[in-house]
Amino acid sequence: MHEIAALMGGFATVLEPTNLLLMVIGIVLGVIIGVLPGLGGANGVAILIPLTFAMSPTSAIILLSCIYWGALFGGAITSILFNIPGEPWSVATTFDGYPMAQQGRAAQALTAAFTSSFVGALFAVILITFLAPFIARFALQFGPAEMFAVMFLAFCSFVGLGRGSPFKTITSMMLGFWLAAIGLDGMTGQLRLTFGSTELLRGIDFLVVVIGLFGIGEILITIEEGLAFKGNHAKIGLRVVLDTWRELSQHWALYLRSAVIGCWMGISPAGATPASFMSYGIAKRMAKDPKSFGKGRIEGVIAPETAAHAAGTAALLPMITLGIPGSPTAAVLLGGLLIWGLQPGPLMFVEQPDFVWGLIASMYLGNIVGLIIVLAAVPWFAAILRIPFSIIAPVILVLCAIGAYTVHNAPFDIWYVMIFGIIGYVFKKLDYPMAPMVLAIVLGDRAEASFRRSMLISQGDLSIFWSNTLVASITTVALLLLFWPAISLAWERIQPRLRYRTA
Amino acid sequence: MRPTWHCLAAATAAAIGFGTVSAFAQAWEPTRPVQFIVPAGTGGGADTMARAIQGIIAKNNLMKQSVQVVNKSGGAGAEGFLDVKTSPGDPHKIIITLSNLFTTPLGTGVPFNWKDLTPVAMLALDEFVLWVPSDAPFKTAGEYLAAVKTGGNNKFKMGGTGSKQEDQIITVAVEKAAGAKLTYVPFGGGGEVATQLVGKHIDSTVNNPIEAVAHWRSGALKPLCVFDGARLPVTEKMTATMSWNDIPTCKESGLDVQYLMLRGIFTTPGATAAQVAFYVELLRKVREAPEWQQLMKDGAFNPKFMTGADFTAWLTTEDARHRDLMREAGFLAN
């Protein structure tokens, strides 16, 4: 139980008044950063890193990691209220969170999102506290083949779920892959689909697409449907929080499953965004009535939020123990560690125990402080929906434009957002699903890169995806999920016969 | 009135510490925040260095205006270089370079050249080390080379950052020395490359010291040789038995390959001598800061500083060398 003693030492560091103050400042800043679409945790932390130069490394990491927690919490707010994902990992939260808000259940959805984030993080932190060395070894087993298998699994757990025409789903997904292919091909160093244009060099960022498709698209729809929010009769008051908690406690199995998915994806390190999609997809499959997902099920908020926050937290572990970042924000923090003169790596736990355990203790406390702050603010967030549309819509448009600009500091991205807003509107009108396109953009280039690395290593031999137990089991589960509709159909045909025989 | 004002300006500049600026040249200092462009993503080596410089400037009040780091990584950094190239006469923009200053225009055909920018200074040179897992059968670079040769084509996997950039250039040079092809596997960043080697998904890497040092110290990786003309200067013990200085040069061990990566600063085309002088002086002060010296030591950098004609001459030679290396490797876009 050496860990407990070390952790207590960490708490002692964190509970110093200055550090506690930094923690609150960090969370509030983080929530704001999370709310602004485009200005992600990574950008926010990067901007603030030079300011922390004069602090002690422990205080600095407390401030910066709390910004990260805050951003994880904050990403859900605009997803639920306005269908604009503040962060990539909150895209899946919009699927059910926004319908809930439209039904006047914004406060419930927000409470569910925040609580789930907290539970996911807590689960991951406990795992980090007691199993860090073991987990670090697990992460090392992920080579290109394993990475591709994970991406493939994320895909397979999500496709085949859509209602409606398979043709439309495939079209949407292919459009996503096409967009993901624009820019530099990391494998050969060649430019693809840029047609000599400077603006296409950086590719089309996922966030830019999402802000347009969801945010602007939704505003266009609302304008058409009568210039009013549907969710303005939302119940607001802190009682809602307690009532929602009662409902949430029934979903403990879902919490556990989502947290496990999240931790795994954070450590491997695939990151929070695939984790949220995978968790949502699996929750939908496991549900008794999958068709009701996407229409305002609270499970559809719990699953992605729990997994995203668990992954986001767990992503810090490979950063500390291996020096590889599990998320873009972790990558920036990693640079920060080097500036502060710390050497991330396997020896960190031995050489810098104060720092490491201070960080872990701040994960516990930061998330508790964060939960209290955001839950207390739920009524205010929900009350935003009561502001007349004619006032809030221009504000959202401006936020979307600022968000698009901050992703790459590129003014041209604002045009992309407008174009994708119109595409989003057309998609809605023609009933094309947007989720497959978003998923293809998020995972497309990473899946492609890890597939091509695997092929380089195996010299073109596909059996590399079955070359060891780990990769073989992930690939097999992925294929099972992909052909699930066919399998379940076959099962339904066989089952009555079996019953007949046993009778 | 006018001459008096000039004298006053020069005197003030000297007083605040821009003393070395010649009294004849008109002293210049930024009048609004300076954009510090990083032609690479957040969290990498160039980004870390840029943010360290930003922090040192802010902490020690080296400049009245603030510095804003902006990442423009699109098209292997082409986005960042084109941004500086297309802002002539805007001296409030500087850029930090890595080897993509030379390789990106050659490899992608994007139209820019270092001559389109105004060179300010070489800040340091980044070293490359040949790393293998610590339980690999070879003890020296010579033995590694022999194993690659006897193994035959594509038997050994070399991991590296990006494609047609420094890591792959070195790989091609190693192939040439060994007389057998390696399978080059490009990854997203140096930290990832090092971890893939620890997990033994690849057989060797040419990571920068700072990217792999933690795994060396924990006993997972071992360095075979350094791709420099002389051994690294840091003699502090990093493991129980070895310091950076104990790593032989590749040439010593029979692998005659040298490669160093520029960490330099450039500004926009058409910058005046006074503007360049301001940045040179600023960087000189950054280099004196203890934080900078610590960073140089931690990363086992070659802390060479170069400005003016020396720097231009160095750039000309390196540009020609990269063109040759890229042509030999078949990496030229056109």
- pLDDT tens digits, residue range A18-35? 999 999 999 999 988 888
Residue in chain B nearest A145 by alpha carbon:
B201
CA A124, B211, A443, A486: dihedral to nearest 10 degrees?
-70
State the average pLDDT over residues A211-239.
79
Cis peptide before B119 (omega within 30 of 0): no
- The whole-number pLDDT of residue A229 equals 67
Instruction: Check residue B131 and report its DSSP letter.
Output: E
Number of cross-chain residue pairs from A and B with Cβ atoms under 8 Å apart: 170
Residue A202 confidence (pLDDT) above 70:
yes
Residue A161 confidence (pLDDT) above 70:
no
- The whole-number pLDDT of residue A316 equals 84
State the average pLDDT over residues A249-270.
91
Question: Inter-chain contact B195–A323, Cβ cutoff 8 Å?
Answer: yes
- Torsion angles phi and psi, residue A249, rounded to 5: -60, -20
Residue A113 confidence (pLDDT) above 70:
yes
| Least-confidence region, from A69-78, A339-348, A461-470 | A339-348
CB of A206 within 8 A of CB of A441? yes
User: Where along chain B do its domains lie?
Assistant: 2-126+261-329, 129-246
Question: Inter-chain contact A331–B41, Cβ cutoff 8 Å?
Answer: yes
Residues in chain B: 334
CB of A109 within 8 A of CB of A298? yes
Short-list A225, A88, A104, A154, CA closest to A447: A154
- The whole-number pLDDT of residue A392 equals 85
pLDDT band at A503 (very low <50, low <70, confident <90, very high): very low
pLDDT band at A180 (very low <50, low <70, confident <90, very high): very high
CB of A160 within 8 A of CB of B218? no
Question: Inter-chain contact B298–A188, Cβ cutoff 8 Å?
Answer: no
A54 touches chain B (CB under 8 A): yes
Convert A43-84 into a string of H (helix), E (strand) and C (coil).
HHHHHHHHHHHHCCHHHHHHHHHHHHHHHHHHHHHHHHHHCC
Cis peptide before A99 (omega within 30 of 0): no
Region of A316 on the Ramachandran plot (φ > 0 left; ψ -120 to 50 alpha; else beta): alpha
Better pLDDT: A350 or A233: A350
State the average pLDDT over residues A460-469.
94
Residue A502 confidence (pLDDT) above 70:
no
- The whole-number pLDDT of residue B3 equals 44
- The whole-number pLDDT of residue A196 equals 84
pLDDT band at B116 (very low <50, low <70, confident <90, very high): very high
Sheet containing strand B118-126, strands side by side: B67-71, B34-38, B93-96, B261-267, B118-126, B306-307
- Rounded distance between C-alpha atoms, residue B109 and residue B118, angstroms: 21
Question: Inter-chain contact A190–B43, Cβ cutoff 8 Å?
Answer: no
Q: Which two tokens stand for residue A152?
A: 């493939």
| Least-confidence region, from A40-54, A350-364, B70-84 | A40-54
B52 touches chain A (CB under 8 A): yes
Q: Which residues span the domain enclosing A25?
A: 2-502
B69 touches chain A (CB under 8 A): yes
- The whole-number pLDDT of residue B48 equals 84
Please provide the average confidence, as pLDDT, over all residues in chain B.
Answer: 89
Residue B59 makes CB contacts below 8 A (sequence gap 6+) with: A53, A54, B289, B291
Residue B4 confidence (pLDDT) above 70:
no
State the average pLDDT over residues A137-149.
89
- Rounded distance between C-alpha atoms, residue B149 and residue A120, angstroms: 51
| Least-confidence region, from A50-54, A173-177, A458-462, B92-96 | A50-54
Residue A303 confidence (pLDDT) above 50:
yes
CB of B160 within 8 A of CB of B167? yes
Please name the amino acid found at residue B259: Y
**Matching CATH topology for B2-126+261-329 and B129-246?**
yes
Better pLDDT: A159 or A298: A298
Homologous superfamily of B129-246 in CATH? Periplasmic binding protein-like II (3.40.190.10)
- Rounded distance between C-alpha atoms, residue B276 and residue B186, angstroms: 36
- Torsion angles phi and psi, residue B34, rounded to 5: -95, 130
SS percent in chain B: helix, strand, coil, step 5: 45, 20, 40
Region of B219 on the Ramachandran plot (φ > 0 left; ψ -120 to 50 alpha; else beta): left
Neighbours of A188 (CB within 10 A): 14
State the average pLDDT over residues A138-142.
87
Please give the tally of structural domains in chain A. Answer: 1
Homologous superfamily of B2-126+261-329 in CATH? Bordetella uptake gene, domain 1 (3.40.190.150)
| Least-confidence region, from A487-491, B231-235, B329-333 | A487-491
pLDDT tens digits for B44-73?
788 889 988 998 998 889 999 989 888 888
- Rounded distance between C-alpha atoms, residue A176 and residue B7, angstroms: 62
Please name the amino acid found at residue B174: V
- Please report the DSSP string for B169-186 in residue order: HHHHHHHHHHTS--EEEE
* Element at A489 (helix H, strand E): helix A484-502
Best residue in A39, A52, A53, A142 for a mutation probing chain B (most B CBs within 10 Å) = A53
State the average pLDDT over residues A266-286.
87
Please name the amino acid found at residue A368: I
- The whole-number pLDDT of residue A268 equals 81
The three-class DSSP label of residue A421 is helix
pLDDT tens digits for B159-197?
999 899 999 999 999 999 999 999 999 998 888 899 899
Better pLDDT: A278 or A230: A278
Better pLDDT: A369 or A236: A369
Residue B107: list chain A partners with CB under 8 A: 189-190
CA–CA distances in Å: residue B305 to residues B260, B263, B288: 14, 10, 12
Residue that is written with structure tokens 């020896």 in the block: A347
- The whole-number pLDDT of residue B148 equals 95
